[in-house]
């Protein structure tokens, strides 16, 4: 009887651990399904016909309809460069190098994936709307208080997510797997 009881407890613990690890992989991404650079994370096979099971489950969970990686790639940031959680009570400076893509966008979402309502009705910057530096790079402030030049306002208290999308010329599968993506923007906390 004790062997059977131990076996049942072992199976229940294994099931709980498996479900917990799967849930964690779907929310934060595993190293097998995501790629990370400077605090930005991307599901590397999102939108690809040969996507792994974790990527497929993540897409089903979030309800996204991603472009194939040959056309566009979406990056998410939940932390700044010092690995501190992004929070609306702080001011951040996102500094991007010249973008080697046809088009790009940078937007701020709350933790539920909704845009922040704000009185200036500014929800994102893109390749046309952002003021760029002479070298082609950009810098964008994210804060509750107005900032000079490119400012994305956030209004409510709590954590938020930065979403950076790159739309590029069409690549083959081989170019996508071998090519490193463009350098990612730095996320610096200015004050808190």
Structural domain tally of the chain? 2
Query: Residue 180 above 70 pLDDT?
Result: no
Is residue 188 over pLDDT 90?
A: yes
Q: Give the number of residues written for the chain.
A: 192
Count of CB atoms situated within 10 Å of the CB of 2:
6
Same domain, residue pair 46 and 58: yes
Q: Of 12-16, 44-48, 149-153, where does the model show the most confidence?
A: 149-153
> Whole-model pTM?
0.76
For residue 12, the enclosing domain spans 1-30
Residues 155 and 178 both lie in one domain: yes
Q: Estimate to the nearest angstrom the gap between the alpha carbon of 134 and the chain centroid.
A: 27
At 127-175, the pLDDT tens digits run 888 888 888 788 999 998 888 889 999 887 788 889 888 887 555 555 5
């Amino acid at each position: 009887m004790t062997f059977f009881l131990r076996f049942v407890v072992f199976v229940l613990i294994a099931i709980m651990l498996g479900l917990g690890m799967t849930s964690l992989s779907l929310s934060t991404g595993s190293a097998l399904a995501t790629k990370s650079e400077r605090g930005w994370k991307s599901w590397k096979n999102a939108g690809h016909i040969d996507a792994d099971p974790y990527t497929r489950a993540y897409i089903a969970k979030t309800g996204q309809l991603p472009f194939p990686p040959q056309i566009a790639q979406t990056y998410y940031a939940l932390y700044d460069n010092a690995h501190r959680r992004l929070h609306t009570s702080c001011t951040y400076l996102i500094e991007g190098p010249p973008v080697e893509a046809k088009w790009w966008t940078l937007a701020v979402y709350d933790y539920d994936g909704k845009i922040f309502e704000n009185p200036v009705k500014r929800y994102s910057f893109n390749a046309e709307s952002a003021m760029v530096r002479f070298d082609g790079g950009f810098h964008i402030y994210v804060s509750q208080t107005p900032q000079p030049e490119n400012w994305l306002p956030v209004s409510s208290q709590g954590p938020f997510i930065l979403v950076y999308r790159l739309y590029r010329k069409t690549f083959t599968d081989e170019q996508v797997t071998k090519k490193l993506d463009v350098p990612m923007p730095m996320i610096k906390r200015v004050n808190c």
